[in-house]
Structure 1
């Protein structure tokens, strides 16, 4: 149900009048107690303290006073003789004898101080394979890292000093291989490429050949050993 101006005005009036959230919800109808509290919070109405206090203890009625019992008279005890305490004089205090000053110890250098050995037996753990594991006191200082190495470019061999190698290839030079890859002077053509092709004009003529007309074509050579076996 929507909050109309009349319902809001009625809620504000009852809230300021001291009515509880449950009473306001019953009066308006169609809303819950939590909805009334939330609407009052959004309207900025003054919050009221809760009637229930967390630290308040219930008040219990005080118990009725008990009637005192009659006290009976106790029989008189015989009088006892009290002896006066004997006071003894304390002996005079004796002053302690003065001590001779102890000789000062000579200074000890830091190099002469021996390292303190750990108490108790040393425990050595044997790992898999028979090697001895290091304990906390056996660990060495970390080794400083080696200085960075300066990379020097390798010099090409004399056979391909002025020729195009694999590292020199790009989209503007011919990639036609010259020689066998196992040979020391193996290199690539390196001439200017034919536009639209990976090779130069000369090697394009060797890589791409025009297809002959259908009537001038020759049959392919026969396969060795009679070709594949037909099952």
Structure 2
């Protein structure tokens, strides 16, 4: 398929009449695709055409009773996908648990080489530095996890507490 002078003139005429690339491709037929029409239009520099005006009848929107101007300012603006968006409400009933500072003596903090089964494995500091250590505090007899009682409270929060925090955020 090649673009003859007649096809190019017909393409120009149909394009300026406002036909779509698909409609022009059907009109030209003989192996000319929609993409070929679009490519030729761009190569000819005709891509920026003026959109045809939509008749006023098709554009007319139904009249909706609108509130008075003094009432509009108090109404929330609701459009599109924000119409169903929930507005966050602060929940003052839930108070976060007070954070207690735990002081771990440097003598208790251990490297990975000194870590024993009965010691807390909570990481302390930046692993990329030589100052990195583990908590090393003694785990209680009832502790089955890898952390001391203080770090277990941080690491393992009851499901109900997590749900409350997520809902209040």
Instruction: Name the TM tier (shorter chain).
Output: 0.3 to 0.5
TM-score, length-scaled by structure 1: 0.26
Structure whose alpha-carbon radius of gyration is higher? 1
Higher helix share: 2
TM-score, length-scaled by structure 2: 0.33
